[in-house]
Amino acid sequence: MPHNLNTASFFLLRRIKSMFYHAYNSYLDNAFPYDELRPLTCDGQDTWGSFSLTLIDALDTLLVLGNRTEFQRVASILQDTVDFDIDVNASVFETNIRVVGGLLSAHLLAKRAGMELEPGWPCSGPLLRMAEDAARKLLPAFETPTGMPYGTVNLLRGVSPTETPVTCTAGVGTFILEFATLSRLTGDPTFENVARRALRALWKTRSDIGLVGNHIDIVSTKWVAQDAGIGAGVDSYFEYLVKGAVMLQDEELLSMFQAYDRAIQNYTRFDDWYLWVQMHKGTVSMPIFQSLEAFWPGLQSLLGNLDSAVRTFQNYYSVWRQFGGLPEFYSIPQGYTVDKREGYPLRPELIESAMYLFRATGDHTYLQLGVDALESIEKIAKTPCGYASVKDLRDHQLDNRMESFFLAETIKYLYLLFDPTHFLHGGGTEGDGSWEEGGEAGECVLGAGGFIFNTEAHPLDPAALYCCGRHDQDRQELQDILLTLSQPGSQSKPPPKQTEGGSQSESIALKPGEKKTPPLLSCPVQPFSARLSILGQVFTDNT
């Protein structure tokens, strides 16, 4: 990278850090322990539950910015203060992506943050137990005839008898990353199983032309809102099919996405915009771009579909330049905001796509978007105590709210856009020793790159899943062998007689009609985890 860009990046990273600390310190000073900061009145409010949500959401961002001391301090505060045994109605979707995702990510980054670790990390640890507690509180929502979850759950009492069965598509299909991570780390398959069951049930409801709608009745499987698109209410379902396929090396999830993608390209894409269409007929229902759709170019880049990703990004970036932010809804035919949807709550999606596309192409257009975003947010949204959502991009009126995703996602993606050698990108140069050991005997290689971001930008390390999963499998194999050896059936013959010298004496002659049975444990036995290794890759029997 040219020297002048390095210098520019250094100053931009400093500005992004000071933006983070202005928001973060304002939350601590004025809003903690409430969920969110109200930046116009300098106080706090509970929004998605009552568990200091901004602190959980911002925890891994602290480490991304290099602040290990504050990460350690906050991690121990959360362990002491957060309690999920509370009589609160919580969004199943939001609690999963923000709380479970945030705690899992912090748990997996704990070693890099210099925290004291339990033996066997990352397969155990206090933050992992907190994530598991939070996720367990969500499980009652999945106890439905279809396996698709309710949208809201009471953390103390489960699902209310009067709870509506109507929920959005993303609220059914955005669990596989967090729940599979939990299952693989803890060895409890329940979480991954319910997430998969929900995904398969949703897959069965697609229309004859291969599209899903926006809201579904999870009991009857009838589509209540039949608009099909890639934005609000659907977005992270598609995101999790792709990222789940990558993280779990899962062909089923990938083929689901590819089938959807063909239908999406066929029915909803016009001039590199994506419109909303009727899910059964494919006729245009809303010729609108929603700011939440701006994640799509980044997702396409993960699949290598760069040409269309670049063109779609340019469309979205032109809207940003028109307003200094992305309005929630933008009418494509009129080229202007939509009534009552003129706000910009400091969302991250366009910056997220810029980060992925810059990694994929090296094109400085994406850095320019980052500079524009930094300037816009500083100029329009900054208040004496934090940053406020923009109520109306036409006249820059502000709203008294700072969403926790501003610290979890917007600032994190902005920082990562300008720091190409960050450990989350794989540490820059190969073999620079940025990886770390994990597992019972330190035999797992962790943190070597390939992090998967959940839809709240919480990075998950896929290597950790295989670390714990493999040990469980090995232990299970050993347990099965020992159990077989201890079965009464396997010991039906009397033990061989001992000779005077103490060695076993057994006739090697077979009786008539008898077959030679191989011993249960035949030598030599290789270590379970290293059946065969070539060029540093380890292959097990089931590879």
Would you say how long the chain is, in residues? 543
Whether the Cβ atoms of residue 418 and residue 367 lie closer than 8 Å to each other: yes
d(CA 469, CA 236): 26
Looking up tokens 């396996």, which residue turns up?
147
**Catalytic sites, residue numbers:** 94, 235, 328, 349
Looking up tokens 């269309």, which residue turns up?
308
Measured at the CA of 284, the angle between CA 279 and CA 285, to 5 degrees, comes to 80
Whether the Cβ atoms of residue 60 and residue 74 lie closer than 8 Å to each other: no
Say which amino acid occupies 287: P
d(CA 441, CA 433): 19
455 known ligand binder: yes
Give SS3 for 363.
coil
Looking up tokens 């997702």, which residue turns up?
299
d(CA 521, CA 236): 48
Other Cβ atoms closer than 10 A to 251: 9
Whether the Cβ atoms of residue 108 and residue 159 lie closer than 8 Å to each other: no
Other Cβ atoms closer than 10 A to 69: 10
d(CA 177, CA 457): 12
DSSP assignments along 484-505, one per residue: HHHSTGGG-SPPPPBPTTS-B-
8-state DSSP, 45: E
C-alpha distance across the termini of the chain, in Å: 39
Name residue 336's beta-bridge partners: 331
DSSP assignments along 440-472, one per residue: TTS-EEESSS--EE-TT--EE-HHHHHHHHHHH
Give SS3 for 90.
strand
The annotated binding site for Ca(2+) is made up of: 455
Which residues contribute to the annotated binding site? 455
